[in-house]
A = this chain, B = another copy of it.
Amino acid sequence: MINIRLEKLRHEMTKFNLDAVIIPSTDPHQSEYVAKHWKIREYFSGFTGSAGVLVLNKDEAALWTDSRYFLQFEDECKEYDINLHKQSIPHAPEHVQWLCDSLDEGAVIGLDFLQFSKAQMDYIIERSRPKNIELKNIPSLVDEIWTDRPALPSFPIDIHPLEFSGESTASKIQKVQDKITNSKADYYLFSSLDEIAWLFNIRSRDVDYTPLVTAYALVGPDNTRLFCDKSRFSTTAIDTFSKLHIEIIDYKLAIAELQKLDVNKKIITDVSSLNYAVFNAVESKFLFQNSIAKELKAIKNETEIAGAKNCMVKDGVALTKFFIWLESELATREISEFEIGKKLESFRKQQDYYVGESFAAIVGYKGNGAIIHYTAPEKGSAMVKNENILLVDSGAQYKDGTTDITRTVWLGGTPSTELKTAYSAVLKGYIMLEQLQFPKGTVGMQIDAFARFHLWQQGLNYPHGTGHGIGSFGMVHEPPQGFTTNPATSSGSTAHAPNQLTTIEPGCYKKGVYGIRIENIVLSQVKQVTEFGEFLGFTPLTLFPIDRQLIDKSLLTVSETAWFNSYHKMVYDQLSPMLNTDEKEWLKGMCNEL
């Protein structure tokens, strides 16, 4: 089927006189997860990983993705005429030079400008210039082939109430308008869906796992335009927005409306979130680069922090019930990874304000835990027994917050020394970040290295970042801050600030054998102020015991053991009031001093 689609695509390429096409995995808003309408790369490749680019030239169909997805690609695409090209750096546009090298002078590449950011297009333009390669905007390329393409999302839009958001839309818009005035600009243009959800306190389910609304927004000094399907709002919402001078205009009219703006008007925007079609519409009016929402949104307010803490209790309770269930079931039968994931979901569903999972839960038994973004298939997933190692990475969207937690547990038998050494090094790395104090201005890339220290000392490492920002009933991966080795990403280059929510999740993976990852959400706070400035650090919010069967206690320092014990005391103190006697008993056993 995929091969037939590719054949049709080649036919269209001939029709449009194209020598190549680039099909990325993005939507017009540079979103991480995209609505079904935009899953063009998946449609033509069968590859479902969240990162990857499909490139067709005369000779081959090439899928470029990074090490997190190599195993998944082999699994999903082995029967199709698609070659895997391994990226050495996640999201790096390594395919561009390769494609340009493969093309003749004056060749034509077809692409949909809506799916490319300004920076991505600049990069392609630079690489294609020496051979005078033309870049042609072909938004309709797939329409003839993908006849049953899903429409743009049209789910009802909910207003995210003040009790969860902690700040009114009026107040947020005022902050944006102050920025416009201070910058002597006329407009602030928003294109990132999470920024728009934050600004208007709106939520929907356009995108899997993420409560976002497909929209653009233009804030002016006196009024605001929200480009979004009006029929999705309740009349109450339309009325409330109208009083705030917010006009709702059809999503598809956004680019035309932007083009119509007075030539003398000046726009501030976060260019990195704009697609190239929108960028072209506003380029002449662009004043300077700014990501006000990232600046403001990343700093959580008291209500959002309280909500996050509340969610951690709910997640901890759900996980306690889940692991008790798992332990007792495994004593009598084998259970598929898929069933385990569904059961975990059912325990979270019982919690207040539950909306859905924040991403597809990763339940990876033994070697499957080494597939970084593994999803257990409904049919034929591995059967888990009461032995060996299981990795469970999961999270939820609650109306008062978003969660993301990973635990790696030993289910029975005797773990190898190699495994215990690796697990202990991962844990020591996690604790190192918890204990770390760093001066204001320290960026994600610097902090990331500490989580790897103990692994590096033994020649071990992990092929992913050490953590990411997380939203408040928003995106599970929320920029700008995080921890990664890649300086070209916002999570590598952004300085951490107080009152941000970030995950810490070091790991270690052995292909076909095991996956280890330990992940908590932490709150950044000022820890000390000296003549050398403000020093920040992290406080763990996630509440669930870390498996101790895989720890080689002799490898922990006194200080690490003390941290471990104090964390588990906190977990027990905070979760136990919500549990029944049996559950308390079980948790007590998991939270004893090491």
Contacts and interface: CB of A to CB of B under 8 A. Distances in A.
Contact of A456 (B439, B443, B461, B493): B439
Interface string A426-466: 00000000011111011101111110010011011100000
Contact of A535 (B450, B456, B485): B456
**Interface SS majority for chain A:** mixed
**Residue of A449, A457, A529, A535 contacting most chain B CB atoms (<10 Å):** A449
B449 A533 contact: no
13 contacts: A436-B453, A436-B456, A436-B457, A437-B457, A437-B459, A441-B485, A445-B487, A446-B485, A459-B532, A459-B535, A460-B530, A460-B532, A487-B493
A567 to B, nearest CB: 18
A592 interface: no
Interface of A: 435-439, 441-443, 445-450, 453, 456-457, 459-461, 485, 487, 493, 528-530, 532-533, 535
Nearest to A487: B487
A523 to B, nearest CB: 19
Nearest to A527: B459
Contacts of A535: 456, 459
A443 B488 CA distance: 13
Contacts of A439: 456, 461
A125 to B, nearest CB: 15
Contact of A449 (B449, B456, B493, B528): B449
Contacts of A436: 453, 456-457
Integer count of this chain's copies in the complex: 2
Given A459-B530, A530-B459, A450 B448 contact: no
Contacts of A533: 461
A447 B442 CA distance: 13
A446 B449 contact: yes
A27 B244 CA distance: 58
B485 A456 contact: no
A449 B495 CA distance: 14
Given A439-B461, A457-B437, A447 B449 contact: yes
**Residue of A442, A445, A456 contacting most chain B CB atoms (<10 Å):** A456
Given A436-B456, A453-B436, A456-B436, A443 B487 contact: yes
A438 B443 CA distance: 19
Nearest to A532: B461
A456 B487 CA distance: 22
A10 to B, nearest CB: 31
A262 B539 CA distance: 63
Interchain residue pairs A-B with the least CB separation, the first 4: A459-B530, A446-B449, A461-B532, A459-B528
A562 to B, nearest CB: 15
A443 B487 CA distance: 10
A94 to B, nearest CB: 15
